[in-house]
Amino acid sequence: MLSQIWHWLNERWPFSTLIHLALDEEIPGGSRFTYTLGSALLTVFMLQAVTGIMQLFYYVPTVDHAYDSVNFLRTKIPFGWLINGLHYWGANAMIILIALHISRVFIWGAYKHPRELTWLFGISLLLIVIALSFTGGPLSWDQKAYWEAEVGTSIPGSIPVLGDTIKRIMRGGEEMGQLTLSRLFIVHTAILPATLIVLIGAHLIAFRRSGSVGPWNEAQGEIKGQFWPDQVFKDALIGTLIILALITLAVFAPKPFNGAADPLDSSFVPKPEWNFLFLYEAIKFFPGRLEPIGAVGVPQVLVLLLVLLPFLDRGPERNPLKRPVAMACGILFWGAIVALTIAGYYSKPAAGEAPTPPSLVPRVTTFSTTAQSGAQLFPSQGCIGCHRVNNTGGTIGPDLSGEGLSGRSRDWLTIQIRNPKAHFPNTVMPTFASLSDKEVNDLVDYLLSLKSGISPSSAQISNKPSAPKPSSESPTNVPAQTSQTTSSPSQKQIGPAADIIGNADRGAELFKNQCSLCHGPMGTDKIPNPGSDDGIVPALNPIDRELFSKNPEEFAENIDKFIQHGSTPSGPNTQLKMPAFGDTNSLTQQQIANVEAYVLRLNGVNRSELINPGITPRRFFFIVVPAVILILLVLGGIYRCLP
């Protein structure tokens, strides 16, 4: 019956012939494990294709939802963590396997006549895979990915004459944004994979045309082995082991949740993926105006060397021991890349490389309005928690009512706000690194206007100098957004930050600068808050039971209202008030999400917890990996016992 169907099919389409062409091939010297690298690459590519398509069911290439959609897949879709993890580690495996595959072909001298085209198709495949790696990383639109794309598109932009045009084509305009993401997406998911498939076909046809090169010792090649099933078996075995390794990496070394892309957060130090580190390091040898040579020239020379190899090295000898010059060059080539990669791994960015936020507002010079805006920043940024102006404010820091008469310069005050430790190494004043230049400028204008207690907007922002009243009756001394009682924030809306999975490590840094002064270094300290009913600033570690939740989303929503809108603890004359970090834009939503992730971590809750993993990664690992190994051992045992 089956053979009849097979016959019927083959009468109409040459299945049998094609299978014969693909599988029936003699291998000089027999099958070997060293020959499995090519098919291992094909296996991983197929895995990339499948996991890539799976991700497309969930991913959207929009700047406002790309990061959320990836995290939705990772944390809420059964086995989404596996799909994303396999794709991430599979991409890394592709690069490593290509490097090994090229090295093997080089050592075996398999690029020589008549296999030059096979080699060239292979080098094209290498370039496509590198391009896939470059365009794939930024699609998650997280903080690391964003800056990688920013730097990655700036590099070609440094090419003389054509650079600007190339950069515009890559970014879809002058600046990074939605069009950049759309372009990266279409190139990564359609153009490059399609090109790759065509080139793989060309590579394999060229390979079959001349056949396997076999051992360099001609005598060994006399005895022929079979591709099917001998070599295919070895290929399948290696492919299986690689997939097991990728599963292991996806389980035990998941990609970190880097926090959403934040163009305004210039404190992030971007560093490329490991496979571009050599380039990153090489650029440093070409400082200043020479940088384009390093950034563009070096990779061009490397590619040119690879392309020209079969035409430069034309001797028929394939034994590596008898090709000292070629081998020395090869070792030098790899040695340089490996050394640069290692150096790049341990180094920091070159000076001046840190990108500046693209949308800084130019300094406003109108005195009165800037001082007005500074007067509003003073309470909203929490300055008033420590500094007293016209009898209002905290007493931790010096009274600033007469700061305009102190004779301190504009620059001195700017530095004091940006980096107080520059003036007073032991100060407890936090660094207000998140303020924009304009905001600092406004604050400085406000401070300089404080002369003998008359401020430009004293009516709006401060109580009358005498007779402080209970805050419930007095005119508000904080902006309208800041609430009067502790309960108000819960009635307000949660902000976008509550739905973003932040990065707790980045949050820890922000917490140190923005929150630790009042909440204590780890959120544990009970800092006194004179004038409030509680008498202390609420501790965040452990946090109020009413705010706590084991569900990371609920927990984040509970604390988000306070960070967005601030709060004023109830009390007759509360000194320390929670600033409205969200309403005043003193922290971006991405930064708030990071701080929330950190506060959750302080309370033992993981913001990036896998809410719906299907099977938890570790359990999946302990089911799958032993099962595969067991099956391999049993089959291997049967195989050995066969006659």
- Can you give the binding site for another protein, defined by CB under 8 A? 29-34, 47, 50, 54, 57-58, 65, 68-69, 71-72, 76-80, 82-83, 86, 220, 223-226, 228-230, 232-233, 236-237, 239-240, 243, 493, 499, 554, 611-612, 614-615, 620, 624, 627-628, 631-632, 635, 638-639, 642-643
Pairing of strands 224-226, 392-393: unpaired
213 neighbors 118 (Cβ within 8 angstroms) = no
Scored b (16 or more CB within 10 A) or e, 266-292 reads eebebbbbebbbbbbbbbbeeeeeebb
> Minimum distance from CB of 77 to another protein (Å)?
5
C-alpha closest to that of 501 among 615, 583, 609: 609
C-alpha closest to that of 557 among 505, 470, 633, 493: 493
Instruction: Tokens for 93, please give them.
Output: 């495996």
| Separation of alpha carbons 198 and 258, rounded Å | 35
> Minimum distance from CB of 285 to another protein (Å)?
41
Q: Pick the closer one to another protein by CB: 461 or 498.
A: 498
Q: Pick the closer one to another protein by CB: 333 or 548.
A: 548
> Minimum distance from CB of 70 to another protein (Å)?
9
> Minimum distance from CB of 236 to another protein (Å)?
5
C-alpha closest to that of 510 among 572, 440, 432: 432
| Separation of alpha carbons 496 and 550, rounded Å | 20
Q: Pick the closer one to another protein by CB: 227 or 378.
A: 227
Count H helices and E strands in the chain, helices first.
27, 4
> Minimum distance from CB of 110 to another protein (Å)?
17
> Minimum distance from CB of 31 to another protein (Å)?
7
> Minimum distance from CB of 499 to another protein (Å)?
5
Q: Pick the closer one to another protein by CB: 161 or 638.
A: 638
180 neighbors 187 (Cβ within 8 angstroms) = no
502 neighbors 607 (Cβ within 8 angstroms) = yes
Q: Pick the closer one to another protein by CB: 58 or 274.
A: 58
482 neighbors 579 (Cβ within 8 angstroms) = yes
> Minimum distance from CB of 82 to another protein (Å)?
5
Q: Pick the closer one to another protein by CB: 67 or 446.
A: 67
Contacts of 276-279 with CB under 8 Å at 24 or more apart are 276/133, 276/134, 276/152, 277/340, 277/341, 277/344, 277/345, 278/336, 278/337, 278/338, 278/340, 278/341, 278/344, 279/340
Q: Pick the closer one to another protein by CB: 70 or 443.
A: 70
> Minimum distance from CB of 183 to another protein (Å)?
22
Burial of 527: CB neighbours in 10 Å, binned 0-12, 13-18, 19+: middle
Q: Pick the closer one to another protein by CB: 31 or 586.
A: 31
285 neighbors 294 (Cβ within 8 angstroms) = yes
C-alpha closest to that of 188 among 296, 56, 278, 303: 56
Q: Tell me, what amino acid is at 270?
A: P
Q: Pick the closer one to another protein by CB: 83 or 478.
A: 83
> Minimum distance from CB of 137 to another protein (Å)?
20
Q: Pick the closer one to another protein by CB: 327 or 632.
A: 632
Residue 232, Ramachandran bin (φ over 0: left; ψ between -120 and 50: alpha; else beta) = alpha
